[in-house]
């Protein structure tokens, strides 16, 4: 009688503890960071400030905007394709520039839960549109000498930053990217542009 009662108690304890053990065993497999960025598609939209832009007429401030789409090909590696637009401020007696660009890059991303540093590098196609005003005094003569010049070139891109992931899908990213041209635009200095960026990202796995 005593042995039967003991067997019943042991069986009841095993039935109660088995689900808990099963849940504990499944928990690691549900960690969304186990695979890093592998198989993850991420869309990022951002605004940018241009504190430094070297051109034929010296340093000028500017602004920009853009977006890119990336896909994780390994736990800490992603490839990206991006489109962006930058414009430098006009100065008296000088031209203003519009820069349209298409870039492709490879990046390294940390797999931490909340703060994820990143670094990327790649190539870009740049199209720069320059408008020469002809001077401060807008007269018939200066108007006639005004013209628009469009230059196209290939270049390189590299940069880094930090992502703050607020949830499994939504994050805030801040960082900077440096753009440089392989050839001179308009026969002047090669394009060199530093873009400080901040924006939102959305990840899909």
pLDDT per position as a tens digit, 74-124: 999 999 999 999 988 765 555 557 888 999 999 999 887 789 999 999 999
pLDDT per position as a tens digit, 32-79: 456 689 999 999 999 999 887 655 455 678 899 999 999 999 999 999
Task: Round to whole Å and give the CA distance between 59 and 145.
Answer: 24
pTM over 0.75: no
Helix (H, G, I), strand (E, B) or coil at 205: coil
For the chain, give the number of residues: 205
Q: What pLDDT was estimated at residue 193?
A: 85
Long-range pairs, 135-144, Cβ under 8 A, ≥24:
135/93, 136/92, 136/93
DSSP string spanning 40-99? -EEEEEEEEEEEEEE-TT----EEEEEEEEEEEEETTEEEEEEEEEEEEPP-TTS-EEEE
Half-sphere exposure of 9 (CA within 13 A, CB side): 6
Is 146 within 8 Å of 124 (Cβ atoms)?
no
pLDDT per position as a tens digit, 118-155: 999 999 999 887 776 655 444 444 444 566 667 888 99
Tell me the backbone φ, ψ of residue 89, rounded to 5 degrees. Answer: -65, 145
Q: Which CATH architecture has domain 37-204?
A: Beta Barrel (2.40)
Domain boundaries, the chain: 1-30, 37-204
| Band of residue 172 on the pLDDT scale cut at 50, 70, 90 | very high
């Amino acid at each position: 009688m005593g042995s039967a009662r003991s067997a019943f108690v042991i069986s009841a304890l095993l039935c109660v503890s088995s689900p808990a053990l099963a849940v504990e065993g499944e928990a690691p497999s549900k960690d969304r960071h186990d695979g890093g960025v592998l198989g993850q598609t991420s869309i990022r939209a951002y605004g940018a400030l241009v504190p430094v832009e070297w051109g034929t007429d010296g340093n000028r401030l500017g602004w920009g905007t853009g977006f890119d789409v990336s896909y994780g090909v390994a736990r800490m590696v992603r490839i990206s394709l991006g489109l962006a637009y930058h414009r430098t401020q006009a100065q008296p007696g000088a031209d203003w520039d519009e820069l349209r660009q298409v870039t492709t890059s490879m990046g390294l991303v940390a797999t931490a839960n909340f703060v994820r540093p990143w670094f990327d590098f790649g190539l870009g196609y740049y199209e720069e549109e320059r408008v020469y005003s002809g001077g401060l005094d807008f007269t018939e003569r200066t108007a006639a000498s005004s013209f628009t010049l469009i230059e196209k070139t290939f270049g390189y891109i590299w940069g880094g930053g930090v992502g703050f992931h607020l949830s499994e899908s939504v994050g805030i990213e801040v960082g900077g990217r440096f753009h440089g041209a392989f050839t001179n635009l308009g026969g002047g200095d090669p394009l060199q542009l530093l873009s400080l960026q901040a924006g939102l990202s959305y990840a899909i796995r």
